[in-house]
Structure 1
Amino acid sequence: MASKRFGLFLLASSWATSEFLADHPGSKIVDPILAFCILLATNSLLVQQLFKHQKTRQSLRSARGRPDNGRYAVILSMGCAFLFLICKTPSFVYIALQVASRPPFCTYRITNFAAPHWVAFVWLFSTINYSANFYLYCAISKMFRRQLESRFPRLSFALRKLRNCFWQNRGPGSPASSRFISADTETTNDQMDFS
């Protein structure tokens, strides 16, 4: 009975939506722009409040002489907000160009060649937005890395081995190159006197 009512609700809501869109065709374009503007404003306010919170917290912690353990949570939150703003900007620009290309504006024309490229660009950044938060957590949060290592010990061992291999095989001019033996002197760069 409940599923039948839910089905009727979906049918009625889709009918109401299609009727609304038929009467207001501009809402297909305005709604995403409005949603982006609202999210932009809330993320900007969030970042502003997090900056204030971090400054207040730092001043309180420095007065007490204790380390700031909540600093990484604030940095992580700011990173997620910045990542969202950066990754959603191409979508906003594409929708704004679509609005500019339709009546009554008609000030911009998206060519048949450019449209698929814009869509691919927007999808790329949307995918980055959805998947990059995990890497952001791994980069910033020590607790997240520890939990990940405890849950997946083989993966963490393989990643550690890969990281060590990378640092040992870097080219000249890198910090790891100081461990290489110089061919003409038979000494390492660490043993040379540069004074």
Structure 2
Amino acid sequence: AGKLKELQAMLGASVQLRSIGEFSTVEPDETGLSFVENAILKARNAARISGLPALADDSGLAVDYLGGAPGIYSARYADGQGDAANNAKLLDALNDVPAEQRGAQFVCVLALVRHADDPLPILCEGLWHGRILTAASGEHGFGYDPLFWVPERNCSSAELTPADKNQISHRARAMAILRQRLGLSPDQQ
């Protein structure tokens, strides 16, 4: 729900997004080994089920000290126990790791297919660099937002307003590329 709201806010009223949940309660297995593969899998699945062009997002957090983990497993890092458990596991994994070694980036890959068998999906990637805090801070957002320090704003991602986050996040960066590739001007909302 959080991703869909962010994507819709970034696209504006000129494009109406619909959730795959409107068409099916079955989610595809994310069997890909990368954000790109999983985004394509999800987009093709949504197009197949809905009969419509489909935009899918695969995103997550890649922590340098952890070799890129949790990566594609970000949402289920703590075995599907939810955001609080994922955050606790991440903090535990980085216990006693100094700030200068806590670099991380949020990664977002958007895949747009015109139909389920589209041989040339449009792929857009956005990265948002920061570092992992030693404790949660902030009330906004979801997922790892309370732990992700945003150096250019001097606060955590969860301390940003949704409007501010939608200007600078990994998803915003990927969406800006997609809007450009689709010929949508920045003010066409």
TM-score by length of 2: 0.20
Richer in helix (by share): 1
Which structure shows the bigger proportion of residues in strand conformation? 2
Name which one, 1 or 2, has greater alpha-carbon Rg. Answer: 1
Task: Report the TM-score when normalising by structure 1.
Answer: 0.20
